[in-house]
Amino acid sequence: MIYSVVINVGYGNLYEGFPVVTVGLWALNNPRPQKSVGNLPPAPNLVDLYRNWRLIYQNLCHRQAFVSMRNLTENARSWELSPENDSQIEIDDNQITNVSVVDFNELSQHLQQCINIWLESPGILSISRQIRAALNPTDEIRVIIETQDIIIQKLPWHCCSFFQDYQRSEISFSRTEYQQVSCLQLPQITRSQVRILAILGNCQGIDLEQEKRFLQTLPDAEVELVV
């Protein structure tokens, strides 16, 4: 089965909480959803954890870029580049940031645990259990989070236990207010012939005239030759 789970966290933030959270469950081709209302408590620790997690992640990326550049420089020197070219690549050792992959992994696990604990708060736990009871691990599930909060949009939701338990699920984000937009109907263009663009380049070892004659004899084809 294919389902859509729409979570509208309403207005609020991680410092003050989200007093009205609406969760809807739609089955494919069923216009009537299962809908429940709950709430999420304040979780200011998630803001600090996310910012630290992002900072360490960026530092690790910068360090990896530094290592790659240093290796590139050492390889270039081993190829005995001229001093004029070799001087164009300079590495500042002071740019190395003392960050640890182990620290990042530990912080990632801690952030993941805190998100799961937050999503199991009393105000939302019963709704989560209802949603899980209606789904199977083999279902295709589209999870849409409607929120105006930027931090909520940036949290690593893919690490939540729900997405580990339902691995055929995907997540996307939407604003809390939106309008339906009608699809633009483009005119259908029917062609009786297949259009072929043939670009003929270097003729060395190739009989271009024979290639042209072959292309021009193709049935139901409109051939344009570029030499």
Distance CA(200)–CA(210), nearest Å, equals: 12
Count CB neighbours of 101 within 10 A: 10
Q: Return the pLDDT at 183.
A: 66
Distance CA(216)–CA(225), nearest Å, equals: 9
Contact 42, 17 (CB under 8 A): yes
Could you list the pLDDT tens digit for every one of the 227 residues in the chain?
A: 899 999 999 999 999 999 999 999 999 888 788 899 999 999 999 999 999 999 888 888 877 776 666 665 555 555 444 444 444 434 444 443 456 788 888 888 999 999 999 999 999 999 999 999 999 999 999 999 999 999 999 999 988 999 999 999 999 999 877 777 676 676 666 667 788 888 877 777 777 888 888 888 888 888 888 87
In angstroms, the Cα distances linking 90 to 71, 77, 86, 98 are 12, 12, 9, 20
Token couple for 124: 């939302």
Distance CA(58)–CA(6), nearest Å, equals: 31
Please give the distance of CA 83 from its chain centroid, rounded to a whole number: 44
